[in-house]
Amino acid sequence: MRRLLLLAAVLLSACTAPDGPPVESALISTMGFAWEDEEGVSKGFDLDGQVTLEDGPTGCGIADFVHPDGTPGIDNSFAPILPALENVGGDALDPLVQESINAGELLLLIEMEELDDVTTDDCVNLHVQRAIGPPAIGTDGLILPGQTFEQDLDAPDSIVECATLTDGVLFAQPFNMRLPLNIFDEFVDFEMLDGILDMEFNDDGTYTGAFAGGVSTAELIDNVNGLDAIPEAIPELIETVMDVRADLAPTAGGNCSRISIAFQFEGVSAYVFPEEDE
């Protein structure tokens, strides 16, 4: 019954762009790194299609995690670094990310085109893009659902054609995205490559999901080194751990050039202003 109501709500609220397909949009309202829940357990995805054991022949020998649901091969090599980053930086990471979202500095819109059914749809075009804030914040401190946002046409976006929706869970691969994250009051660009995004449609109209991908260690080191206002120890820490934690995109020399990073998020319904005519 609830599924039917949700379907009705989606069909009613789906806005039709002029001369375009029906579009359903979600805004990521809360987001944070996927942490290591307990030893060896983390949310995320199997990005390289391999289950890597410690010192094993694949994944540069960086052991994969097991998902809380028991799925092996989860690539999230950045997760063990997070506690060290917090210790060195002296601040909690996820609240900084959330502050950025609430301040409108990191508004991610997920537009789903050709969405015919919120339970099963074999081809949904996905467009992830930045929105311009600030958003309205509810009395509970969270972004209010149902807001209309302006697209940030100057920011990089991400398009996945024919994502699939199965049992109310959207799955998109490959998923590439560049997002600037606030790390200790400085924004660091994360360009996530060959990633995966999933997103579940909840009965109350919200969304729950995760995305992950590989970030070039060289680029990450460069970006962090270019920051002025972060604690001095951070670039050193990043450079050190990138060498030992990179787990994706092995080179001919046997080293890995990317590190897997996973995020989890919750989303709310949103609308997008149509692009203005020039």
Partner 1 sequence: MNQRFLGLLGLGALFVAVSCRPPAPEIEPGEPTLRRLTEAQYVNSAHDLLGEDVFVPTGMEPDTRITGLLALGAGQTALSPRGVENFEAAAYALAEQAMEPGRAEALLPCSPSGTVDAACAEQFIEEFGRRAWRRPLTADEVGPLVDVATNAADVLESFEDGLEFAIASLLMAPHFLYRTELGEADPEGRWDRRFSGYEVASRLSFTLWNTTPDDELLDAAEAGDLDDDALLLAQVERLMADPRARAGLSAWISDMLHLADLDDLEKDPSTFVYVTDTLGQAARTETLMGFEALAFDDEGDLRELATSRRTFVDRELAALYDLSAPAREGFGEYVHPDESLRIGLLGQASFLALNSHPVSTSPTLRGKFLQEVLLCRTLPGPPADVDTSIPEPTEDAPTLRDRVLRHLEDPACAGCHEVMDPMGLGLENFDGIGRFRTHDEGALIDASGDLDGVDFDGPLSLAQAIHDNDDFAPCLVKTFVRYSGGRREVFGELEGLDWLSGEFAFRKHRLGPLVENLTLSPLFRQAGALDVDTEPDEGEAE
Residue whose CB is less far from partner 1, 132 or 155: 132
Cβ at position 32, least distance to partner 1 in Å: 21
Residue whose CB is less far from partner 1, 13 or 71: 13
Query: Does the protein bind partner 1 through residue 96 (CB under 8 A)?
Result: no
Query: Does the protein bind partner 1 through residue 206 (CB under 8 A)?
Result: no
Q: How many residues bind partner 1 (CB under 8 A)?
A: 19
Residue whose CB is less far from partner 1, 38 or 278: 278
Query: Does the protein bind partner 1 through residue 69 (CB under 8 A)?
Result: no
Q: Which of 66, 219, 235, 271 binds partner 1 (CB under 8 A)?
A: 271
Residue whose CB is less far from partner 1, 14 or 159: 14
Cβ at position 5, least distance to partner 1 in Å: 6
Query: Does the protein bind partner 1 through residue 22 (CB under 8 A)?
Result: no
Residue whose CB is less far from partner 1, 32 or 133: 133
Residue whose CB is less far from partner 1, 66 or 103: 103
Of 106, 118, 139, nearest in space to 29 by CA: 106
138 to 167, contacts with partner 1 by CB under 8 A? 138-140, 142, 144-148, 150
Binding region for partner 1 (CB under 8 A): 5, 12-13, 15, 136, 138-140, 142, 144-148, 150, 269, 271-273
